[in-house]
Structure 1
């Protein structure tokens, strides 16, 4: 998603994240690993955090976060889940906190599937616009893990405990239309119109009063996201334990080998 106005790039790393700030103060951040459906490895997470922290620049007035290609983001890259679990969870939680604490509105343009950590990433945004073909999926249980990215608070807080449990415990996908109906996203938009719609909203916010928007965002977060920090801490503790478990090793191996997992072996 790019605008017509010239901008300046914010290079941050080897290329997993592309970012550009235009003359109107719209900072467009694009996850750009389309060959991996924008799955995140440690480098991409670090790049994303770096650019999100630049929202303190007074020239930035709004952020648009999206994915390149046919997916928004499919969560963690399973092929890279063999490093330091503590460092990985700390870095992932930092990104969610960066989105929530950014002093400007953050728009998630969910152009395709959002799975795993990406569900929390999208739901941490202030405004969430989803293409009609998009869906939200918490597939952690299928590989012996638990939701992270703040999803245990963000999803349950938006759609209720019962529906969140269906997503988290059964790995059921939530199509965009249902996500809108139950309050997970701001609006659904026909796929071909998503970019234009988000650009219109971003331009409106960029022209608005920056400080008033910042204080409005803080007030809404204080009221509705008061459990997020505790949820991130619980998810961190639980996920670190699970990442070292035999079930997770089997689940990840099965996913990589495209076969059903055999838990408890």
Structure 2
């Protein structure tokens, strides 16, 4: 899945991405596409092929989930374009926690419902490519990647790592308002990307580290660490034998001295595996110890 940036832009991140799926019992392995009033808009998205219609799971499934360490009961309602959670006592506090201790930050959108698109008519989120939804892909082996540069947010797609990537979505970064990582997620790697018009999408990036890095970049909380030519050449040589495609997470170790650490993450099928790391000085030489 080859893709190359323009000559005047710097790639910051690349990794597997797809629409997230619910974790709570009622919405387990399910997701929906909503407008700003909470209506289902799957059939309204232009050019999207149909997918199986999902119903929320019944109370029996919820009881099974609670037996596995997930518990809680609430009712979600839509009021004036926002979703609020009402407990039986009229309050908004719901005791709900996953087996790993993660709690939903908005139970109405993670427990009672699970939209992965929230978009009024004509907003940016509605332009997201259908290939981000595995149920709509013509081939289950088709893969989508999130690609960030210092100028753009892109979604790339390919049926094989041997084939060139298709550019499925290409947005300037100035249309992105920010991003938030969610702990209450199948892989702990869900990320909501919000656009400047208020619409948003929720993606699963498979890796907690990937979600954290993307959230930081899109929220402007960190400056990306760029490799100098000597360091880039050293990384190219070091990673030549690694399985492809591979993503590099670069962190500054000593900014004054120009020392950086580079972590390699190989994407094998739908899994993200750590493929090693290296620390380099400003001349591209390995730093030991």
Higher Rg of the two aligned structures: 2
With normalisation by structure 1, the TM-score equals 0.26
With normalisation by structure 2, the TM-score equals 0.25
More strand by share: 2
